[in-house]
Structure 1
């Protein structure tokens, strides 16, 4: 599982053999230059998209598309330009279900037949509604019903609004009523709550605010899984305390499926069926590594030495994929500092250590190294933090970034047009807000 490199550059591991990779890609036009040289450079997203879909087309793929065994889909575009992909129908869902069925803390709920309630971006909900409308030969409706939002007999989606910070009482009452419907359909009242950690924290806060937090109104899930984006330590702790069940993290992507999972104690474990992993330092001497993935799990778009754009840290700073202990954000969202690049998880560690009441935060920098930084943040209860916390937060940010820093408590931070929050805002890499037309889709 150590991702041992071979002369071709393709990693070989327990779950992946070079001969199988070569056999899978032999007829794909994209890989012909590398096959001719018997050496594979790191595959970047622009190279995947250039000449699409002809650069991936083989007789086998053309036949699969014609038969409905493969389909075109789009990546979310949350952290990069949206990218068209080809994969088997329900590729990501099947990866999720297999992992759920085998996970040491989740397998019991899978075997017990409990259903999955998914609370994440409205773009994901809209995607499911489009899929269902296409099945029926109709157009998606503006406000999808619960039936429109059922992905299959086991999974349904809740969210109908872009910014969860703007959910009102009617939104919360509807979502809780739908959760109760799912819970009551199970003999033990069990259901599996799959979420973006931010969205579930918003729902819990609103339920408390509106007096809807009782188990009768908001049935407690049998399990909580965060599977859509980075979950800050304060948010994870808040969810574990409120719901009283382990908060499990699954890491994957639209194009890859799931690669790692955490256990109830927060330790990560590889889940690399037909995959190999390489870790490449993002800068010389950096403990942050870029995740490079070789995968033949998707037979129609196998990826060889693909840069996923995600960053990880290992327990000893080495490039051993078996020692991954943290997924720390996106490579495009690294902040350069006098001490080297800083990732979202680095700031998150400082915030969690100093101010456990902080919920959302965004670091704003609008100049070069040495210019000022502003940490804007909200709190779980909406009140300003305990005395002295602002000064401690500012000092922590200054020590991390090398920039003179200040803080600002606010009641609301806008979400991005992708339906996800950005931890970093700079003059040239601003995350589009909900009103900004640069945002992506599902």
Structure 2
């Protein structure tokens, strides 16, 4: 049974043009992204929103977009950052590092760095430098961005040395020499591996806490980082338009963080145990979302639809792969890979004509798996996909234009 908005929620959205048909019929269907985009922004425009846009209390932005089209939205300035800071300040395992005033170093996509550099240059009335200095990559008094290249697998020794030195300078700015590391886990794993390979790991300042909140983290990468950092490592789940909805504790279990929000789970296919995330949120006052399909899929501890029992965020709904056994998500394949071959760093399922598939993979050591281990990996992928599958070691799996990795790719 669908969750319909409460009377209080209806009062919040009564004047918004988008919701007038639903208000008239007394039923709110699932809100899809194309419906939001159609007629935007007039379909959201109210006198209050127009005044907020004029005053600067609201702004137009684009959703981050991973491997799909980006969506234009309206939100308060720094909406996602404020959501992040609030969660950091209240998280039971890492609130202490917020209270201690730890500076935040962010290691994520180069697009995020470029955005900060553009904003800072605009404030000065100029254009960003081709290679922005550290101060040009400062988001606010607390946060600086490190990455200057699209593909972290291609960082050279000089680039790795620069980032480590920049972390050291940030660390030195804190009275107790502590800092908080915000990252894409794939970027951090690349940095750790390269620092170790080039004898720089001893110079890598250890953070007081780590948050990753930018993309799906493979289980093997999570294990790799937990083995190398003796501090809480927390995952945040959210989006540009929603803020953060769930956080993990230091042991990896997820907890809801649903201030002015509610969640329902709709099964993608009957009896699959794989659920679409449907969110009602009043947190963004300029685009309150009623029964919004976020595009994410999840699994729960018991296979049921209770959003308080989410155990894994397993990827994007648009990327589900139809198989004879039902839809396959990124997280389902990842779980099988991690069980079959713990030494795999990154992997990508490549589909070919004739229902063939290849699981391209890299390893943490850079060496291929032995023949027996590679066969086990191929069999695990083949069993899940229902396709003949081979496992193939690669020296490099290119990152996407978004600065994030695609787990699924079609090849001719």
Q: TM-score scaled by structure 2?
A: 0.98
Partner of 2:60: 72
- After superposition, give the CA deviation of every residue in 1:357-393 in whole Å (9 maximum; x if it has no partner): 100100011246xx11100000011011245110100
For residues 191-340 of structure 1, the aligned pairs below 5 Å read 191-214=179-202, 217-340=203-326
Q: Distance in 1 between matches of 2:284 and 2:195?
A: 40
Offset of residue 354 of structure 1: 1.2
Answer 1 or 2: higher relative contact order, Cα 8 Å, separation at least 6: 1
SS of equivalent to 1:359: strand
The answer on whether the counterparts of 1:165 and 1:412 sit within 8 Å (CA) in structure 2 is yes
User: Greater helix share, 1 or 2?
Assistant: 2
> How far has the Cα of 1:427 moved from its partner?
4.9
- 1:203 and 1:93 map into 2 onto residues whose CA distance is 24
The match for 2:153 is 165
Q: Is the 8 A contact 2:94 2:232 kept in 1?
A: no
Mapped partners of 1:103, 1:140: distance in 2: 35
Q: Give the conservation status (yes or no) of the 8 Å contact 1:49–1:84.
A: yes
Match of 1:402 in 2: 386
- The ranges of structure 1 where at least 4 consecutive aligned residues each deviate by more than 6 angstroms after the TM superposition are none
Match of 1:187 among 175, 187, 194: 175
| Residue 110 of structure 1, aligned match among 98, 106, 112 | 98
What residue in structure 2 maps to residue 36 of structure 1? 24
**Does the 8 A contact of 1:79 with 1:332 survive in 2?**
no
Residue of structure 1 aligned with 2:73, choices 69, 85, 104: 85
Size of the aligned set, in residue pairs, is 412
SS of the residue 2:266 aligns to: strand
Give the whole-Å Cα distance in 2 for the aligned partners of 1:354 and 1:166. 27
How many angstroms apart in 2 are the aligned matches of 1:413 and 1:271?
34
Q: Is structure 2 residue 363 aligned with structure 1 residue 379? A: yes
CA contact (8 A) 1:79 1:330 kept: no
Task: Specify the alignment match of 1:423 in structure 2.
Answer: 407
Task: Summarize deviations over 1:300-354 as a string: whole Å, max 9, x none.
Answer: 0111111100000011111110010000000011111111001111111111111
Describe the SS at the equivalent of 1:148: helix
Residues 394-427 of structure 1 show CA distances to partners (whole Å, capped at 9, x for unaligned) of 1111111111110100110000001100001125
C-alpha distance in 1, partners of 2:333/2:340?
A: 11
Q: Could you tell which deviates more after superposition, 412-421 or 134-143?
A: 134-143
TM-score (structure 1 length as normaliser): 0.91
- 2:397 alignment partner in structure 1: 413
Rounded Cα–Cα distance in structure 2 between residues aligned with 1:363 and 1:255: 29
8 A contact 1:313–1:326 mirrored in 2: yes
SS at match of 2:50: helix
CA distance in 2, matches of 1:287, 1:427: 29
CA distance in 2, matches of 1:295, 1:79: 24
Please tell me whether residue 139 in structure 1 is matched to residue 127 in structure 2: yes
The CA deviation string for residues 186-244 of structure 1, in whole angstroms up to 9 with x for no partner, is 12211111111100000001111111000xx2110011111000001100010111122
Cα deviation for residue 58 of structure 1 reads 0.7
**Secondary structure of 1:388's aligned partner:** helix
Which of 33, 42, 48 aligns to 1:45? It is 33
SS of structure 1 residue aligned to 2:181? strand
1:366 to 327, 352, 355: 352
Unaligned stretches of 5+ in structure 2? none
Provide the alpha-carbon RMSD of the alignment.
1.3
